[in-house]
Amino acid sequence: MRITYRGVIHFVGVFFMVLKSNTTNGAILDSRCYLEGGGSAESFLANEDLQVGSIIGKLRINGNPDAEEGDIDLSFREKEAPIEIVSGTKDLSLAVELDKEGIGGPSSIYVNVICTRRRSTDPSFVIPVNIR
């Protein structure tokens, strides 16, 4: 049996391909439900002149909350939150009028958004949201 340069190169190439395929099958990092900027809370400024139903802002959460093709679910921990999550999006809309004096409505809003990864047994994430 004769060892040739071409045979050695072929063997080394196949060896490294097998080695590489074994190392890439390790743990896959799942960034769903983490905030895009690496933070731990969301904060928005809202004008008291906003009408009910107006979009306050968009949550910067990794993942897709679409009902059919999405990979996360978003909800509130609070039962009667003064804001709503627009279905299938990360948009927050105003559900009550704001009043900076706190007479005709809340002057600020603090809620907790629960983000759940679909098709996973991982625990849910709680993201505090502050609107002033």
Q: How many CB atoms lie within 10 A of CB 59?
A: 20
Residues 6+ apart with CB under 8 A from 93: 53, 54, 55, 56, 83, 84, 85, 86
pLDDT tens per residue, range 73-128? 999 999 999 999 999 999 999 999 999 999 999 999 999 999 999 999 999 999 99
Instruction: Give me the amino acid identity at 53.
Output: G
Average pLDDT estimate for 7-26:
52
Q: Find how far residue 36's CA is from the centre of its chain.
A: 7
* Distance (Å, whole) CA 25 – CA 94: 45
Half-sphere exposure in the Cβ direction for 42 (13 Å, CA): 23
Is 0.85 surpassed by the pTM of this model?
no
Domains of the chain: 42-131 (2.60.40.3430)
